[in-house]
């Protein structure tokens, strides 16, 4: 008989203080509390980590080598766990080929639909193409005997210009396959091109290394420099002059050449295409930017694939529609069987499956997203909800799901749909644990866990467990006080006046923005709000942030479509805070990332005892030799590879996990 509760005893992960509790299974559980109180330590680092670890350990030793195994959490006992799936807020993919359609696996159905029932239109003359079967007699000699057999070739042919297309297959509509991808951009929809304004370091001359991609190369004797010297001689200027002293016309001649020399831009593009050196490619890419492919105009597929239509729509036209538009379009298609070339029996189950998946995405508040949108452009919350929709569509049962604040970025209108989706996941026979601050999510829970009372070392305790309505009566719970209305966040009576200056964006037209004008006051805290998909992120991230980064930091990314931006002279710096992870190495911690640790090292190095012993700031760093423990290289632990088993990390016996040599730790 299945256990009714997940029993946890003695959990001490991170700041958890030896907590014990029983969590009911097959319910919607919300874990709430102050930021840093220990919610994620309980949900992800303890419950999910142990559930995933036990499941992976049940696999064969061969299978385990391909699956990452999490560390065993610091807990005495956990009983009643199911196989665990984490749906967190990490972005889905940085692969430029991934789209919402490919990630949600809806585009696969589109490819099948167009391969089976698409109407071929000649890409050259625009006329409908006819399906033709052609029989040819083939004669082969096998073991000295002549054998004749017939071969039937089926293809599409244009009666006017006689262009031929092979019989359609799903791979002809894949921009990740050579059969369907645009040959010019290889299915990316954009091409890397040299950005002329990024090529030169204006503080140097050509002979001093002003051409950035080859600045690390000795220019003397270079064939390119020899050609440039001839070019400069023909146009009466010197390569010894710094770029800032050359006229704009002279720079243009260097970049684009003349009748005898193609210019630096063409030379760099040719070098980029021909070289096999990763270093050279990397250096040239620093002065390149992505621009729309001129052949496919960003549509990724070859002309022959784009010419296949259903109801006058190509597969990319269909992908460019929002999820909401598609949920309205496909039922109309189902009512019109005649438009599918007599293949409605094939079409009907495909469209019904697509509609089911679209409904899942719609129910988690993603109705505004198009299937052609790049997966890399999704926010962490959007990526999380796509994974959630995929899990609902998988119809699994007996699973433990752990989610991290899925309501982030959602308007209240869409939050209700999200709660309904989570309840559907629960009703399939799953346990759903959600780390959340949203009051609507808390009140919709079957069971509420409040962690606190404070953050960090002041948290890590279970303040309340039970029904949502009961927490309002709990005098110890800060969450309960806000839910009951006993405490509230009061709006300020006075507002900042600001600097009086502003940034004005005119004619914003990127994505769904309809040629809008926006004025943003400076010197104030400005909030941008609206329903999910209204264009907030497009306005701020795609237009304003990219325009600021291009102006101040010469960023390669082009801002979204707009007429003009004024008022940038009123600011001198821009900091873009996004959802990308901050730690680039396992050694990163909050102190090293924020730069605080540099002051700590300087402080210890300035102490009299450290100066007497000749210890500098570098001796107090665990990232470089000197003061760190060399037995563990400053990690505090030693990795022991167990081949088919999970790697084991043992505390360094020499430094006892403290990362430094004893003489460094003696400085206090």
Domain 590-665 has CATH 3.60.15.10: no
Look at the block and give the residue holding tokens 């005898």.
260
Least confident of 144-153, 277-286, 464-473, 534-543: 144-153
Task: Report the pLDDT averaged over residues 146-166.
Answer: 68
pLDDT of residue 286: 85
Domain 190-292: CATH class, spelled out: mainly alpha
Task: Report the pLDDT averaged over residues 645-651.
Answer: 67
Per-residue pLDDT band for 91 (boundaries 50, 70, 90) equals low
Per cent of the chain over pLDDT 90 is 41
pLDDT of residue 148: 63
Per-residue pLDDT band for 392 (boundaries 50, 70, 90) equals confident
Instruction: Please tell me the distance from the alpha carbon of residue 265 to that of residue 197, in angstroms, as a whole number.
Output: 11
Residue 643 has pLDDT above 60, yes or no: no
pLDDT of residue 467: 95
Could you tell me the sign of the dihedral formed by the alpha carbons of 581, 587, 590, 594, in that order? negative
pLDDT of residue 378: 80
Please state whether beta strands 5-11 and 19-24 pair in parallel, antiparallel, or not at all (unpaired): antiparallel
Other beta carbons less than 10 A from residue 127's beta carbon: 14
Fold of 5-90+379-484: Rossmann fold (3.40.50)
Q: Two tokens at 225?
A: 């420099």
Other beta carbons less than 10 A from residue 331's beta carbon: 10
Instruction: Please tell me the distance from the alpha carbon of residue 192 to that of residue 465, in angstroms, as a whole number.
Output: 55
Q: Two tokens at 572?
A: 């001198």
Task: Report the pLDDT averaged over residues 447-454.
Answer: 94
Residue 144 has pLDDT above 70, yes or no: no
Among 530, 538, 532, 529, which residue's Cα sits nearest to residue 511? 538
Q: Helices marked H in 136-263 — which ranges?
A: 223-234, 248-256
* Phi, psi dihedrals of residue 63, rounded to the nearest 5°: -70, -35
HSE value, Cβ hemisphere, 13 Å, CA-based, for 433: 28
CA 4 from centre of chain: 38
pLDDT of residue 77: 94
Report the predicted TM-score, pTM, of the whole model to 2 decimal places: 0.71
51 and 27 Cβ atoms separated by less than 8 Å? no
Q: Following CA atoms 88, 91, 95, 96 in sequence, which dihedral angle do they give, to the nearest 10 degrees? A: 140
Least confident of 142-156, 558-572, 577-591: 142-156
Instruction: Please tell me the distance from the alpha carbon of residue 340 to that of residue 330, in angstroms, as a whole number.
Output: 13
pLDDT of residue 648: 65
Residue 466: strand, helix, or coil: strand
Highest mean pLDDT among 224-228, 385-389, 468-472: 468-472
Residue 1 has pLDDT above 50, yes or no: no
Q: Two tokens at 252?
A: 């243009």
Per-residue pLDDT band for 581 (boundaries 50, 70, 90) equals low
559 and 524 Cβ atoms separated by less than 8 Å? no
Task: Report the pLDDT averaged over residues 612-630.
Answer: 89
Q: Give the domain ranges of the chain.
A: 5-90+379-484, 190-292, 502-570, 590-665
Task: Report the pLDDT averaged over residues 174-196.
Answer: 89
List, for residues 597-608, the tens digit of each pLDDT value: 889 999 999 999
List, for residues 366-377, the tens digit of each pLDDT value: 888 899 988 877
Other beta carbons less than 10 A from residue 557's beta carbon: 13
Per cent of the chain over pLDDT 70 is 90
CA 154 from centre of chain: 42
For residue 533, the 8-state DSSP code is T
Task: Report the pLDDT averaged over residues 521-540.
Answer: 87
Instruction: Please tell me the distance from the alpha carbon of residue 302 to that of residue 262, in angstroms, as a whole number.
Output: 30
Other beta carbons less than 10 A from residue 247's beta carbon: 9
Q: Helices marked H in 314-462 — which ranges?
A: 315-319, 323-334, 344-363, 380-394, 412-427, 439-444
The helix (run of H) or strand (run of E) holding residue 506 is strand 502-508
pLDDT of residue 92: 58
For residue 543, the 8-state DSSP code is I
| Mean pLDDT, the chain, integer | 86
Least confident of 48-52, 182-186, 199-203, 341-345: 341-345
Among 540, 659, 500, which residue's Cα sits nearest to residue 589? 659
Residue 2 has pLDDT above 50, yes or no: yes
Instruction: Please name the residues in contact with 122: beta carbons below 8 A apart, sequence gap of 6 or more.
Output: 128, 129, 158, 160, 161, 163, 307
Task: Report the pLDDT averaged over residues 194-213.
Answer: 88
321 and 92 Cβ atoms separated by less than 8 Å? no
Among 605, 611, 654, which residue's Cα sits nearest to residue 634? 654
Radius of gyration, CA atoms only, the chain? 31
pLDDT of residue 358: 94
For residue 607, the 8-state DSSP code is S
56 and 69 Cβ atoms separated by less than 8 Å? yes
Residue 308: strand, helix, or coil: strand
């Amino acid at each position: 008989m299945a256990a009714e509760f997940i029993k946890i005893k003695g959990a001490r992960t991170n700041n958890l203080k030896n907590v014990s509790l029983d969590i009911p299974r097959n319910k919607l559980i919300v874990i709430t509390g102050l930021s840093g109180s220990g919610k994620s330590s309980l949900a992800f680092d303890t419950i999910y980590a142990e559930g995933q670890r036990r499941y992976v350990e049940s696999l064969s030793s061969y299978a385990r080598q391909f699956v990452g195994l999490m560390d065993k959490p610091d807990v005495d006992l956990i009983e009643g766990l199911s196989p665990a799936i984490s749906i967190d807020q990490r972005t889905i993919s940085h692969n430029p080929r991934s789209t919402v359609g490919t990630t949600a696996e809806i585009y696969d159905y589109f490819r099948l639909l167009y391969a089976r029932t698409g109407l071929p239109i000649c890409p050259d003359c625009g006329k409908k193409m006819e399906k033709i079967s052609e029989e040819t007699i083939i004669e082969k000699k096998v073991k000295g005997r002549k054998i004749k057999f017939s071969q039937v070739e089926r293809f599409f042919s244009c009666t006017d210009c006689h262009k031929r297309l092979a019989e359609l297959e799903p791979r002809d509509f894949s921009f990740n396959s050579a059969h369907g991808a645009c040959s010019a951009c290889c299915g990316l929809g954009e091409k890397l091109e040299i950005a002329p304004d990024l090529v030169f370091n204006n503080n140097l001359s050509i002979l001093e290394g002003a051409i950035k991609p080859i600045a690390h190369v000795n220019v003397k004797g270079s064939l390119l420099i020899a050609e440039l010297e001839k070019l400069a001689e023909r146009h009466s200027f010197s390569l010894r002059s710094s770029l800032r002293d050359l006229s704009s016309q002279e720079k243009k001649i260097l970049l684009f050449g003349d009748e005898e020399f193609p210019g630096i831009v063409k030379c760099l593009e040719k070098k980029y295409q021909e070289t096999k050196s990763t270093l050279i490619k990397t250096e040239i890419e620093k002065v390149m930017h992505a621009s729309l492919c001129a052949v496919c105009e960003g549509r990724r597929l070859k002309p022959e694939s784009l010419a296949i239509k259903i109801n006058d729509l190509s597969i990319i036209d269909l992908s460019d529609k929002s999820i909401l538009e598609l949920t309205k379009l496909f039922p109309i298609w189902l009512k019109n069987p005649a438009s599918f070339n007599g293949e409605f029996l094939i079409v009907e189950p495909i469209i019904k499956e697509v509609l089911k998946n679209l409904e899942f995405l719609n129910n988690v508040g993603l109705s505004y997203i198009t299937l052609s949108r790049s997966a890399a452009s999704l926010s962490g919350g959007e990526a999380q909800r796509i994974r959630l929709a995929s899990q609902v569509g998988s119809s699994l049962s007996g699973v433990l799901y752990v989610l991290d604040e899925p309501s982030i970025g959602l308007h209240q209108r869409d939050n209700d749909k999200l709660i309904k989706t989570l309840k559907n996941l629960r009703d399939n026979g799953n346990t759903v644990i959600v780390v959340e601050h949203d009051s609507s999510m808390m009140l919709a829970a079957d069971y509420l866990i409040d962690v606190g009372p404070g953050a960090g070392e002041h948290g890590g305790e279970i303040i309340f467990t039970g029904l949502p309505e009961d927490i309002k009566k709990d005098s110890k719970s800060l969450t309960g006080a806000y839910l009951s209305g006993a405490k509230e966040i009061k709006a300020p009576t006075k507002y900042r006046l600001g600097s009086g200056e502003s940034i004005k964006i005119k004619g914003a037209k990127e994505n769904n923005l309809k040629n809008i004008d926006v004025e943003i006051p400076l010197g104030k805290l400005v909030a941008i709000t609206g329903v999910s998909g209204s264009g907030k992120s497009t306005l701020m991230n795609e237009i304003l942030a990219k325009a600021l980064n291009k102006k101040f930091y010469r960023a390669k990314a082009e801002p979204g479509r707009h007429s003009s931006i004024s008022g940038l002279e009123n600011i001198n710096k821009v900091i873009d805070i996004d959802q990308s992870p901050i730690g680039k190495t396992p050694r990163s911690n909050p102190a090293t990332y924020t730069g605080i640790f540099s002051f700590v090292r300087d402080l210890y190095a300035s102490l009299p005892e450290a100066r007497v012993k000749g210890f500098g700031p570098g001796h107090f760093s665990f990232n470089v030799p000197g003061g760190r423990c060399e037995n563990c290289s400053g990690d505090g632990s030693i990795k022991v590879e167990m081949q088919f088993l999970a790697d084991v990390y043992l505390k360094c016996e020499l430094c006892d996990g403290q990362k430094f040599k004893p003489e460094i730790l003696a400085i206090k």
